[in-house]
Chain A
Amino acid sequence: MGLSRREFIKRTAALTAASYVGMNLPFSNEESAHAADADTWHKGTCRLCGSGCRLELGVKNGKAVALRGIPESRTNKGYLCMKGMLFYKLMGDNHPERLKKPLYRAKKDQPFKEISWDEALDIAAKEFAKAVKKYGNDSVAYYGSGQALTEETYIFQKVMRGGLQTNNVEGNPRLCMASAVGGYITSFGADEPIGSYTNFERASCFFIIGSNTAEAHPVLFRRIMRRKLDNKDTVKVINADPRVSPTSRIADLHLQFEPGTDLALLNAMAYVILEERLYDEDFITNYAVFRMGKEKKQVDFNQYKAFVKDYSPEKVAKICGGNITPEKIKKAARWFAKSEGTMSIWTMGINQRKRGVWANNLIHNLHILTGQLCKPGADSFSLTGQPNACGGVREGGGLCHILPAHRLVKKDKLRHEVEKLWGIPEGRIPPKPGYHTVAMFEAVNQGKIKAIWINCTSPAQSLPNCDKYRKGMKREDVFMVVTDIFPTKTTELANLILPTAFIFEKTGVYGCTERRSQLTVKAVDAPGEAKPEVWIVREWALRLAKELNDPVIKKCVEPFLGKEPDYALPKAIWDEYTQKLTKGRDNDLRGATYEVLEQLPDGVQWPAPTKEWALKGGTDIKFVRGLDPLADKHAKNDLPYQFYGPAHPDKKLWIWLRPQKGPEEMPDSEYPFYLSTGRIIDHWHTSSMTGRIVELMRANPYAYVEINPKDAEKLGIKPGDMVEVVSRRGRNVLPAKVYVGPCEGMVFVYWHDQDEERMINRVTKDAFDPGSKEPEFKICACRIKKVSGPKPLKPFLVQMKA
């Protein structure tokens, strides 16, 4: 057959396009004619997970009608999951439930009233100014999102820090990848992965721990699966997870340990690597040092060996329980160390742990010990859950302790650098980091924060132990502004709801997991009076400046005055951020201008200091001379790898001595089960978007609890029975799914459901990692009981009460 794959794709394009038009149409010529009618196709990035899939939006008569993948893209290679194919149904006037007008109520028990933008911005400015005047600068806060565009996070934090002089700038990435940040900085000295997705096609061993990639990142999972299936005998997949998930399906080895014993398991793998001399001595001597404790005390190799001696596979197999045997640990360690290139992949299973940073460190340890870094296929790769957690929040300064471009708030030099670049007086940004997420909502509970702006996220559902924090959000003396596109659990508690534009209704950049910044340009109009956040912040800041009589606040938005909000305004913000703030930093994005980003099918991976470099796609692997322009620039010696990360003055990789540490709450006689939570493929986070796509909602109308068949038998629970899941904090009643997924003694619940009875974050625990401040969503103790037989259930989404 002389038919290449590409030609085949082309030929089927017409057919393919037919179903792009709408899933409700059958295959026929009539429909393919329809698809060709889409007037224009606009490049952009998927709104949902952190994979950064590139896609095109089909627009017909100003209406979004279809989405399709871009085959030239280096992230998804044209593939899309169903969420990515269907979210055009939320754009413009396609969805009747979109928020279209600013809504206000003075008291939280009153119904909302429609008001004009002028009134809304006045109210927001007055309330924030009132709080600042009466209770000080730290009585106001911004809680953002890894889904906001980089421009949005940047301008929000600029106004909060430079204008309102507070570091109370946080975001939901604290709940999902703060531990990964901590891990990368403490182990490698620089945030974000060294390599990129290209390693999927080059790795010969995958170590997937604490990630259900198949459901959470289906498009990336396809690449892993492809690699495995094309090289069945040479590529090994190890999956370590207390739950058998769809990801385990392709695994050669499944390590099912009891929740909370992961640190011991990782140390045991290090034990085997040392015991069997599988480490790379040259790599360790050239690039690594050993450290321990809070004071980062340097120790030597022998001390590390002595530390790891405590974690023999025989001993650890007993700690880990589940299906773990010493042989399995040894096998995993051998595959890991001996392969041509080993790639570790993890997400929330590792990050959302009481000692998430340590768990991250221990994975990095294995890579440093075996030299599985910087070479093709070798990487220690944390996947991100949100489309712009990396680009916007980690790089853009969206957390309480960091300023844009990986600068720490507490470092005077870096803080003053930012003040200078912004042209505001030195000392304007306070030196003390603000409240981290849990502390911020604790402060709301205690009435210390009087005005809070929540943008593009729903903490009322996504915070652990959310009932506790909803109490604070319900307080009458806490003024809450929520900017969102749909009603959520959080808008229910707001004073002021501001309708915003959705992706493709505004312009801006998303930065995905692999350091790649990708631009989406406006293609359709936002419904009603919904506005882009950048415009909202600019107008609000101008009013704040007047209310507080503070010209510096105005100064913060001065470069952006008079720009039209759909393209020129975000472009000006992006230019300021990239050209001024990232200059000379490790995430140098000066080459990635809007012009460059628009030319590329996907985007640019930083470091990209020049346009020429950016046009090539940027840096595939960091720290390698010849591949990373900054590695050449910072080179101190002749070694091929230069770990120039700003956080490690010795320019070395650090191997950490981290002991096993269990979860905060262990099962006991009263609450004998482990409870873990996670995502399902068809829904994304709080399902405020995916729940509104009929096809997706139908596929998974409500959350359920997965119970191991052995436990179900003991408790007399049959499939479909209504089961009560109770912890010390709250109670849920969900239908049971009896399934060999979770290990014995563990139950698993999906967290997307908005129904009060099935909202699992009312049950989870808000203990957090003292290092990264990321809560331990993944483990708490609960008890389960059958309450009734099966019941017909209805899907539930928060609606706006008229």
Chain B
Amino acid sequence: MKLKNKKLSKNKKSGNPLPADQSKRLLLKSLGSAGIFFLGLSSKKAGAFSLKASPVKTNVLRPPGAVPEDIFPSKCIRCGRCVEVCPYKAIRPLDIRSGVYAGTPLVFVEEIPCYLCMKCVEVCPTGTLRPINQDETRMGLAVIDKHACVTWSQELALCRTCYNVCPFKEKAIKLDELRPVIIDKYCTGCGLCVHGCQVTQKNGKKAINVEPIYAFRTVKW
């Protein structure tokens, strides 16, 4: 963040003709290409690289109350209690191939979503899953892909499964003229909508997906 600010202010001072947001775009572009380059590299020696990369991604989430990914692997003692207690068998431990993340719990919401029974947060001995309430859960944020969602992309289709299955109907998800809209303030990221969604795209994603936007917050020590 610091870096970006610096660059922007510099632009202004030197009278750079590029508007601020364009230079931001440039920066993002260069970052993007660097990322792609990096990806290319990493695919060559994937094994070594993924040992340190967090396994958390779209629709692959930590159980409720999880601390940020920064400190998750160091705080979690891999006791497996959350895995054991989950009545829906939604929580799965990672195996050895996941490097430093081996043994930590994950929820693959597309396969089995989290029903927010909150049993796992009660049994976690270390506070890696903090003891929170159902409505305080933030496993991620559901995002509707409006190009894939039949109700959004098609003029004449009526589907609202995501709305029907949401445990916080009318709070976390509303219908705007019969089309679903997520209210980020209340969405718990439990993934029930992802599981229920009737559209599966070729890349395996649904028309509504939970993005783990809270998992990568930086931790202030």
Contact = CB atoms under 8 A, between A and B. Distances in A.
B154 A19 contact: yes
A695 interface: yes
A681 B160 CA distance: 9
Interface in B146-162: 147-148, 150, 153-161
A247 to B, nearest CB: 12
Given A23-B198, A27-B147, A792-B88, A71 B156 contact: yes
A85 interface: yes
A696 B157 CA distance: 15
A695 B167 CA distance: 20
Interface stretch (A73-81, A367-375, A754-762): A73-81
B198 A789 contact: no
Contacts of A136: none
Contacts of A719: 115-117, 134, 167
Contacts of B115: 719-720, 790
Interface string A205-239: 00000000000001100100100010000000000
Contact of B150 (A23, A225, A791): A23
Contact of A12 (B88, B155, B175, B199): B155
Interface string B198-214: 11111100000000000
Nearest to A19: B150
Contact of A789 (B117, B147, B154): B117
Interface in B121-169: 134, 147-148, 150, 153-161, 164-165, 167
9 contacts: A12-B154, A27-B148, A79-B157, A681-B160, A681-B164, A696-B198, A719-B116, A790-B115, A791-B87
Interface residues of A, number: 44
B200 A23 contact: yes
Contacts of A26: 148, 201-203
Contacts of A680: 164
Contacts of B112: 792
A249 interface: yes
B196 interface: yes
B157 A229 contact: no
A699 B117 contact: no
A225 B178 contact: yes
A743 B89 CA distance: 32
Contacts of A699: 161, 164-165, 196-198
B162 to A, nearest CB: 9
A15 interface: yes
B21 interface: no
B177 A225 contact: yes
A24 B200 contact: yes
Contacts of A698: 195-196, 198
B117 A790 contact: yes
Given A16-B154, A78-B156, A86-B198, 20 more contacts: A16-B153, A19-B153, A27-B153, A77-B156, A78-B155, A80-B158, A82-B158, A82-B159, A82-B198, A222-B178, A681-B161, A696-B198, A698-B198, A719-B115, A719-B134, A719-B167, A720-B87, A790-B88, A790-B117, A792-B87
Which of A19, A81, A86, A218 is the most central at the interface, judged by chain B CB atoms within 10 Å of its CB? Answer: A19
Contacts of B196: 698-700
B202 A25 contact: yes
Given A249-B170, A719-B117, A720-B117, A80 B153 contact: no
A789 B122 CA distance: 14
Nearest to B165: A699
B122 to A, nearest CB: 12
A69 interface: yes
A69 B156 CA distance: 7
